[in-house]
Structure 1
């Protein structure tokens, strides 16, 4: 069996373990991700929900994406770190923030989403595939 992806918040109150490899890994330059990260993009890895175990209680807030679907961001109520996201329209996936990984070097981005909202000062790997918005399902 492959080594699980593990991680959590900064204070350790929320922990996750994920069996399997990411289905998709991306840098997102949408305005929501910019605000949440405090930079020009957020970096995420998305997995099949079936392989995910989470311990600890997260606080959550819902927002509506450009698609009109609800995405729920989960963060630690103690340290404030945003750890993961879930999507009402896609209950079978689980998305983590790359920086929340115990071994962030395992994160290998495949694409940039919402490149249309990029800032000139946010330099990402020019070799990555860029999508103006979210790629088709």
Structure 2
């Protein structure tokens, strides 16, 4: 069995442990992720929800994505760090912010999403597959 992915917020009030490998890992350059990260993109790894153990008290913020569906961001009530996202249209997945990993070097991005909204001042790996929005399917 592979070692679980573990991580949490900056102060440790929220912790997660995830069994299994990511289903998808990406840098997202949409405006929502830019605003939340305070940078040109957010970096995420998405896992099967069944493998996730989550502890701590998260505050949730719902927002409507470009596709009109609700995505919920979970952040720490103590330190304010955003740790994860869930999606109403995809209840079987759980997405973590790559920087929240205890071992961020385990993160391996596969693609850039919403590349059409990227900024010249935030160059990303040119070898990654780029999608103007979300990839199909």
TM-score (norm: length of structure 2): 1.00
Q: Distance in 2 between matches of 1:123 and 1:116?
A: 12
CA deviation map 1:73-102 (0-9, x unaligned): 000010010000000000000000000000
Q: Secondary structure at the match of 1:83?
A: strand
- Superposition misfits of 4+ residues, deviation over 6 angstroms: none
User: Which residue number in structure 2 is paired with residue 81 of structure 1?
Assistant: 81
Structure 1 alignment gaps of length 5 or more = none
User: Which residue number in structure 1 is paired with residue 66 of structure 2?
Assistant: 66
Q: Distance in 1 between matches of 2:66 and 2:32?
A: 10
User: Which residue number in structure 1 is paired with residue 109 of structure 2?
Assistant: 109
Structure 2 alignment gaps of length 5 or more = none
Q: Distance in 2 between matches of 1:78 and 1:59?
A: 10
Q: Distance in 1 between matches of 2:57 and 2:93?
A: 19
User: Which residue number in structure 1 is paired with residue 126 of structure 2?
Assistant: 126
TM-score (norm: length of structure 1): 1.00
How many residues matched?
Answer: 137
Q: Distance in 1 between matches of 2:99 and 2:80?
A: 14
User: Which residue number in structure 1 is paired with residue 27 of structure 2?
Assistant: 27
